[in-house]
Amino acid sequence: MRIAQVAPLAESVPPKLYGGTERIVSWLTEELVEQGHDVTLFASGDSQTSAELVRAVPRGLRLGGVRDHTASLLVMLEEVRRQASSFDVIHFHVDLLQFPAFRHSSAHCLTTLHGRLDLPDFHPVYRAFPEMPLVSISRNQRLPLPEANWLANIQHGLPQGPAPSDVHKRDYLAFLGRIAPEKRPDRAIEIAKRAGIPLKIAAKVDPADQDYFDHVIRPQLDHPLIEFIGEIGDHEKRDFLGNAIALLFPIDWPEPFGLVMIEAMREGTPTIAWRRGSVPEVMDEGVTGFIVESIEDAVVAVRMALDLDRRQVRQRFEERFTATRMASNYVAEYEGLLERSAMIVPQWREADAPPPPLDLLVAAKNVSGDGLNVSPFHRPI
Amino acid sequence: MRIAQVAPLAESVPPKLYGGTERIVSWLTEELVEQGHDVTLFASGDSQTSAELVRAVPRGLRLGGVRDHTASLLVMLEEVRRQASSFDVIHFHVDLLQFPAFRHSSAHCLTTLHGRLDLPDFHPVYRAFPEMPLVSISRNQRLPLPEANWLANIQHGLPQGPAPSDVHKRDYLAFLGRIAPEKRPDRAIEIAKRAGIPLKIAAKVDPADQDYFDHVIRPQLDHPLIEFIGEIGDHEKRDFLGNAIALLFPIDWPEPFGLVMIEAMREGTPTIAWRRGSVPEVMDEGVTGFIVESIEDAVVAVRMALDLDRRQVRQRFEERFTATRMASNYVAEYEGLLERSAMIVPQWREADAPPPPLDLLVAAKNVSGDGLNVSPFHRPI
């Protein structure tokens, strides 16, 4: 199958450091190539892939210092459109800018929504372009938009990687991600202090969150149990998570997936997570960790986590959250799209026809005289 | 002529409070209707206009609490596209989201760029869609992008309004706009203190600038000469500016136009402005005010401003900066577009042809067998 993967441009694919969506795109792309598909990846020029790479910008925009990504995304999407007839399926990971240009080829497109949908800002577009098929990454993510054109729910997956070793000395709790109010690193710090167990925080600080870091978190770092180690790359994560007693995931927002939970799972490390967003869909309570709703429960769960069977955590990962499973889910949806679009009867009834493609030149070409007030179409009232 | 005006959605047209672009769109629209054109305004539903209003969203997005405008803009642009054949000319004021959908009707479109162009973030789109005609609002604005498809340079204009009265007691300096580092209200405060003349600051504080206001400006407000009166509406501005000795415009960024300078001019009030951005194009040195480059020069200019002939300031406004002049400039460009597009020879040479409109359904419909790997187009290398 000829598949286009269209990545965001914030980070390279895979990202050099932080960047959830681009990592998913990378894992999915590599897995699809591995399965024998003809894959083209539209992404930043510093991406690394076994697929054919179309370099939309020289490098990932965040590390390149570009703050507004709109122009770069529009240019990439125009290139996708130019090459569109070369693909059986175009898989977008860029939210919504593609909707106008691809609405009339929606039968061959799907869009995975990677972000939260509980803010009303984006809702108009899903209503205005109801033909665009959408993939959610959790059932919880869909709640604010139950009536959207959901094609499937596909949970994220990771490359399986080697089985974690059993020789680690595990003597700390881990917090991994972004320093942001909704991620609640303050809760993680509180849990570690009350449990009397060291906490290592590996996290980036976005410019938008600098204030929160400076005023709320930084003052709490000056404690013998708390260590802030900054942003870490993918290659450091496995050891960071694998050597931990447990991952703390004390979120306070509707996290649409929560990749770090399954990254911990892959290393056999259980997670202690707040009951928000996708958490109950990702975690197997009592097997891969514990779902809590208070600091007190979290401190108890830290003790219980020590008794969980880490091989079972890993096994549950292999059953539910590999990239192979994720890619198979997507391929099934791609095939479904193609079967349905091949059955489309090539006759449009006038009333059902989509609006004619915009070509104002037609109006100018068909006229005689000065003709500038003549239009081949009637104006809608 | 049948003209569509496509406004941003941040504010209503005209805005309730602050909002430069939407005010320009309003003045241009009213003037075009006055001149007998058939005008349709795409804008927020709380807009007030003599044109036909297409309500893209219920109310202006800023006061409505919507932070990301992308979805609402895309939905509006889709409606513009649906109605496109009803217009001779479509005039966009929304930066760049319209470029992909309207590139093939660029002969009937123009886009006024209202913002700064010195940040590289937006440059890719002007290179990727070179056929889209652009209007600048100052020559200075163009400097970072000299090679873009500039159709014209059209300075802003205001409704002429009644001649300012001569009875005002003028005993303060005015600062009007946004509290932001690049607007340098701190310089205005310094000038007022050194000149020993009261300063009234009428300005809004955007969330992005709250920190700057709290930490840099607010501590300086506790001075007998300095008065902060917050955000004011259009109806209050005339008195606020007309009663002032001079407007202080001590900017520290490449201001693409600087509407407030001509608003002051309309009331016969001179401006003391820093030599940045469009300032030398808008100001007539020694007639409508003074261009300075230091606090010291500004303090001297305040004294000199008292001696300027305010009737001459007003007269220069009437000659150069009315909405009537602005609308006439735009109508000339609209007519130029239509003349050129009517002459387009309706034959495309294969090599010059634009890429075919995307219709992947064609690929699926034309195949036989399972046919899913057949495409009517060759894949570009």
Q: Which amino acid is at A297?
A: D
Count other C-beta atoms under 10 Å from residue A344's C-beta: 12
Residues of chain A with C-beta less than 8 angstroms from the C-beta of B78: 100, 128-129
Predicted confidence at residue A344, as pLDDT, reads 59
Q: Which of A10-14, A38-42, B235-239 has the lowest mean pLDDT?
A: B235-239
- Condensed to tens digits (0 to 9), the pLDDT of residues B130-177 reads 999 999 999 999 999 999 999 999 999 999 999 998 766 789 999 998
Measured between CB atoms, which of B88, B371, B375 is closest to A372? B88
pLDDT for A358: 39
User: What pLDDT shows up at residue B287?
Assistant: 97
The answer to whether A122 contacts B376, with C-beta atoms less than 8 Å apart, is no
Segment B281-301 mean pLDDT:
97
pLDDT at A375 over 70: no
Q: Which residues of A touch B132 (CB under 8 A)?
A: none
* Token pair belonging to A135: 């993939």
CB contact under 8 A, B358 and A101: yes
Chain B positions touching A377 (Cβ under 8 A) are 85-86
How would you list the strands of the sheet with A134-136, edge to edge? A52-55, A38-43, A2-6, A89-92, A109-112, A134-136, A150-153
pLDDT digits (tens, 9 = 90+) for A163-219: 998 766 789 999 998 999 999 999 999 999 999 999 999 998 988 899 999 999 999
Contact flag A100-B104 (C-beta cutoff 8 Å):
no
Are residues B86 and A344, on separate chains, in Cβ contact within 8 Å? no
pLDDT of residue A272: 98
Is A75 within 8 Å of B128 when comparing Cβ atoms?
A: yes
Closest chain A residue to B341, measured at CA: A364
For B347, the closest chain A residue by CA position comes to A365
pLDDT band at B344 (very low <50, low <70, confident <90, very high): low
| Least Cα separation, residue A125 to chain B (angstroms) | 5
- The per-residue pLDDT for B374 is 29
Q: Which neighbouring-strand residues pair with A173? A: A199, A246
* Contact between residue A307 and residue A278 where contact means Cβ atoms under 8 Å apart: no
Pick the residue of B61, B85, B122, B378 with the most A CBs within 10 A to test the interface with A by mutation.
B85
- Asked whether residue A379 carries a pLDDT value surpassing 60, the answer given is no
> Quick one: tokens of B355?
């890429």
Distance in angstroms (rounded) separating the CA atoms of residues A291 and A285: 6
Nearest Cα residue in chain A from B125: A71
% pLDDT > 90, chain A? 78
CB–CB of B121 and A77 under 8 A? no
Ranking A219-223, B48-52, B234-238 by mean pLDDT, the lowest is: B234-238
CB B97 within 8 A of CB B79: no
Core vs surface per residue B257-278: b (16+ CB within 10 A) or e: bbbbbbbbbbbbbbbbbbebbb
pLDDT reading at A366 higher than 80: no
Using DSSP's 3-state secondary structure scheme, residue B350 falls into helix
Average pLDDT of the residues in A298-305: 96
Interface with chain B: mutation pick from A75, A92, A348, highest number of B CBs within 10 Å: A75
pLDDT at A208: 87
Instruction: Please state, rounded to an integer, the average pLDDT across all residues of chain B.
Output: 89
What lies within 8 Å, CB to CB, of A275 at 6+ separation is: A291, A292, A293
Average pLDDT over residues A307-315: 96
What does the pLDDT look like over A146-167, one tens digit per residue? Answer: 999 999 999 999 999 999 987 6
Question: What distance in Å separates the CA atoms of residue A261 and residue A255, rounded to the nearest whole number?
Answer: 11
Nearest Cβ partner for B100 among A72, A78, A104: A78
Task: Provide the 8-state DSSP code for B215.
Answer: I
Closest alpha carbon within chain A to B369: A342
pLDDT of residue A58 exceeding 50, the answer is yes
Interface test with B, best of A81, A85, A362 (most B CBs within 10 A): A85
| CB contact (8 A) between residue B104 and residue A66 | no
- Cα dihedral B125, B131, B133, B138, rounded to 10, equals 50
Q: Which residue has the higher pLDDT, A14 or B17?
A: A14
Q: What is the pLDDT of residue B368?
A: 34
Q: Which residue has the higher pLDDT, B19 or A55?
A: A55
How sure is the predictor about A381, in pLDDT bands with cuts at 50, 70 and 90? very low
Helix (H, G, I), strand (E, B) or coil at A153: strand
Chain length of chain B: 381
Rounded to the nearest integer, the mean pLDDT of chain A is 89
| Buried-state track B15-53, b at ≥16 Cβ within 10 A, e below 16 | bbbbbbbbbbbbbbbbbbbeeebbbbbbbbebbebebeb
B-chain residue closest to A355, CA distance:
B82
Query: Using the beta-carbon criterion (under 8 Å), do B96 and A70 form an inter-chain contact?
Result: yes
What residue type is B150 in one-letter code?
W
pLDDT at residue B224 tops 80:
yes
Mean pLDDT of B10-25: 90
* Separation between Cα atoms, residue A173 and residue A190, nearest integer Å: 12
The SS3 of residue B351 is helix
